[in-house]
Structure 1
Amino acid sequence: MAYVTVPKDLSKVKTKVAFNLTKRQIICLGAALLVGLPFFFLLKDSAGTTLAAMAMIVVMLPCFLFAMYERHGQPLEVVIRNIVQTKFIRPKERPYQTENLYTVLERQRKLEKEVSAIVKGTSTKGAGSRRRNKA
């Protein structure tokens, strides 16, 4: 009796369209054929069959990679975008910064103390200067 494994997470199951390939894979492989075959036939007469075949493989390779490569469920363009962002766009050092509640409260207490000292200082200065002026 044959056993079939059933994945627990059905969202990761991809629907196959034809030849056990997904729609994305069929489109990318079709694009590879549209680019690679004319390139091969144009180079075959001038460069030779072997060199033309190698050049065709190099030209078709990005399409194959976009069709087949996946890492952690992400296609190649998402992986490339993430690499470019982390290497070139985002800052290299991202320091971990927290705001300590106790330092905020301490700073607020010092400010309130300073404000109350200023208020008390101006009211006593003003009263003292008035007394001196009257005398």
Structure 2
Amino acid sequence: MAASYISVPRDLTKVKSKVMFNLTKRQLICFGLAALVGVPSFFLLKLAFSISTSVMIMMVIMMPFFFLAMYEKHGQPLEVFLKHFIQANFVRPKTRPYKTDNYYAALIRQAKAEEEVEKIVRISEEREKERVRDAKASD
């Protein structure tokens, strides 16, 4: 009697549920879209080119759908990986200077701001007193 073994992955979070033909729902959708785009393009291209050229162009048209279905890096699908790649290399600035804001510097800025406010209040109070004095003197 021969023993049969089934390999069980150590990390169960990487296990994906299979829907049909041992493919995930994502793979079925992407392969379906590839067939939906690729097959009609083959028949249209066959009218203008030879069959081998039409097949090669059809394969090139269908390849992005296959990559979307199958490629995964660090648990992220291709579109998420490409989004992060584009953001890191093209959208965000290359140099990000490190700026510190320590507590002591914040306290000094706050104290200066309070001094300026007190100065403005003091000047406005002095102007108000002068106006009241001038109003009394003119009466």
After TM superposition, the score normalised by the length of structure 1 is 0.72
Q: Which residue of 1 aligns with 2:27?
A: 25
Aligned residues: percent identity? 54
Matched, 1:66 2:46: no
Question: CA–CA distance in 1 between the matches of 2:96 and 2:12?
Answer: 37
SS at match of 1:84: helix
After TM superposition, the score normalised by the length of structure 2 is 0.70
Question: CA–CA distance in 2 between the matches of 1:5 and 1:53?
Answer: 38
Question: CA–CA distance in 1 between the matches of 2:33 and 2:15?
Answer: 24
Structure 1 pair 17–99 and aligned structure 2 pair: CA distance change class (3 A): same
- The 5 Å alignment of 1:100-115 reads 100-101=102-103, 107=108
Q: Which residue of 1 aligns with 2:92?
A: 90
Letter in 2 for 1:36: G
Q: Which residue of 1 aligns with 2:124?
A: none
- The 5 Å alignment of 1:115-130 reads none
5+ residue gaps, structure 2, are 116-139
SS at match of 1:19: coil
Question: CA–CA distance in 2 between the matches of 1:8 and 1:104?
Answer: 50
